[in-house]
Amino acid sequence: DTGVSQDPRHKITKRGQNVTFRCDPISEHNRLYWYRQTLGQGPEFLTYFQNEAQLEKSRLLSDRFSAERPKGSFSTLEIQRTEQGDSAMYLCASIPSGGANEQFFGPGTRLTVL
């Protein structure tokens, strides 16, 4: 399967702990997006990479959140000092440069903060 993969699929943590999620986009897709989905809502944009450059961050991404894509391939999303309000599904999507706008999503990482 050469789709977008995310790891872990589920993460349960205690409030105040740090967590890191990984996303492996489809090979050759140079644009990568992170979204967050809470219960009863649609996915909300968090941040966007073109290759290794982080080009936009949503105001939803507080200073406790950091994302990287060091070699322009996989990406990581870290949340420091987690809060209960961070509980959500974190989705990653990728798209090739010059492609249409159809983003390919991974299965997501469900975060539960106790």
Partner 1 sequence: DQQVKQNSPSLSVQEGRISILNCDYTNSMFDYFLWYKKYPAEGPTFLISISSIKDKNEDGRFTVFLNKSAKHLSLHIVPSQPGDSAVYFCAASEENFGNEKLTFGTGTRLTIIP
Residues that bind partner 1 (CB under 8 A): 4, 6, 31, 33, 35, 40-45, 48, 50, 55-56, 91, 93, 95, 97, 100-108, 110
Could you tell me the two tokens for 66? 């950091």
| 86 φ/ψ angles, rounded to the nearest 5 degrees | -80, -10
Closest distance to partner 1 from the beta carbon of 26 (Å)? 12
Of 75 and 103, CB closest to partner 1: 103
Is the Cβ–Cβ distance between 19 and 111 less than 8 Å? yes
Strand partners, 44: 36
Of 32 and 79, CB closest to partner 1: 32
Closest CA to 92 of 113, 74, 72: 74
Closest distance to partner 1 from the beta carbon of 16 (Å)? 27
Closest distance to partner 1 from the beta carbon of 8 (Å)? 13
